[in-house]
């Protein structure tokens, strides 16, 4: 390592994305969080009832340091956390499925201006870099919705009806697509987005998310 890198690393220490503690530059996270991640890791295929999606791949359960990292990425202006989380997401993608593109869940332009970024698009960008699956922003959000986390399951479904549309340049016909979002709770967002892609002619739609909330709901998650 040259002296410039060394000074840079002293001035700007790397932080564990899951607790904020300073860590070595070559580490992904601190030792305590590495252990925590083992406990909240999902088994592949653990989310049932994904229709109309062919499958949802969550990396972690939404708890402990994972929830902390996602909240910081989303609400406290730490977009760089997306880069760390994306590495884990790229690793769990099944090798026997060929994905034509990663499609981030869109946000309204106004909300992107407010936050400064769309966290789903950032995650998709870094997952793409780590997996070589191209990213294609095939969806747009066409109307305002209420924040999903303030609503119950039924309201969440109705809140999103007709909220997404295909972008003008989207070519979905016959494609196997991988939606990308930060968290899955009831799955309404992913279902609604998948519906639009499938109605547009996509062959199959899967989704990758960093975390699944509501892990105690036995209809949603098994095999933890």
| Least distance CB 34 / Zn ion (angstroms) | 8
Between 57 and 88, CB nearer to Zn ion: 88
**C-beta of 21: minimal distance to Zn ion in Å?**
5
* Rounded Cα distance, 92 and 114, in Å: 32
Distance in angstroms (rounded) separating the CA atoms of residues 51 and 197 = 13
How far is CA 5 from its chain centroid? 31
Q: How far apart are CA 203 and CA 217, in angstroms?
A: 29
Min dist. Cβ of residue 66 to Zn ion (A): 11
Tell the smallest beta-carbon distance from residue 22 to Zn ion (Å).
10
Q: Which two three-digit tokens encode residue 37?
A: 């991640």
| Binding interface with Zn ion (CB under 5 A) | 16, 18-19, 30, 33
Best CA proximity match to 51, nearest among 194, 172, 165, 197: 194
Residue 81 Cβ vs Zn ion, minimum distance, rounded to whole Å: 12
Q: Which is nearer to Zn ion, 18 or 126 (CB)?
A: 18
Crossing angle, helix 81-92 and helix 119-131, to 10 degrees?
Answer: 50
The smaller minimum CB distance to Zn ion, of residues 19 and 92, is found at 19
**Cα maximum dimension of the chain:** 57
Q: Which is nearer to Zn ion, 30 or 209 (CB)?
A: 30
**Closer CB to Zn ion, 69 or 194, in the complex:** 69
């Amino acid at each position: 390592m040259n002296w410039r890198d060394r000074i840079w690393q002293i001035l700007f220490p790397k932080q564990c994305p899951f607790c904020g503690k300073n860590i070595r530059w070559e580490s992904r996270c601190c030792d305590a969080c590495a252990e925590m991640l083992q406990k909240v890791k999902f088994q592949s295929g653990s989310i049932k009832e994904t229709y109309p999606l062919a499958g949802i791949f969550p990396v972690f359960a939404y708890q402990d340091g994972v929830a902390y990292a996602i909240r910081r990425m989303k609400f406290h202006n730490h977009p760089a956390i997306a880069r760390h989380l994306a590495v884990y997401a790229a690793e769990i993608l099944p090798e026997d499925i060929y994905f034509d593109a990663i499609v981030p869940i869109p946000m309204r332009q106004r909300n992107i201006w407010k936050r400064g970024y769309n966290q789903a698009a950032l995650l998709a960008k870094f997952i793409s870099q780590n997996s070589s699956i191209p990213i294609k922003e095939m969806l747009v959000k066409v109307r305002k919705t209420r924040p999903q986390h303030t609503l119950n399951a039924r309201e969440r479904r109705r809140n999103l009806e007709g909220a997404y549309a295909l972008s003008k340049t989207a070519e979905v016909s016959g494609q196997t697509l991988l939606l990308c979002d930060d968290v899955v709770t009831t799955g309404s967002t992913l279902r609604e987005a998948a519906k639009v892609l499938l109605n547009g002619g996509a062959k199959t739609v899967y989704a990758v998310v960093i975390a699944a909330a509501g892990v105690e709901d036995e209809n949603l998650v098994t095999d933890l």
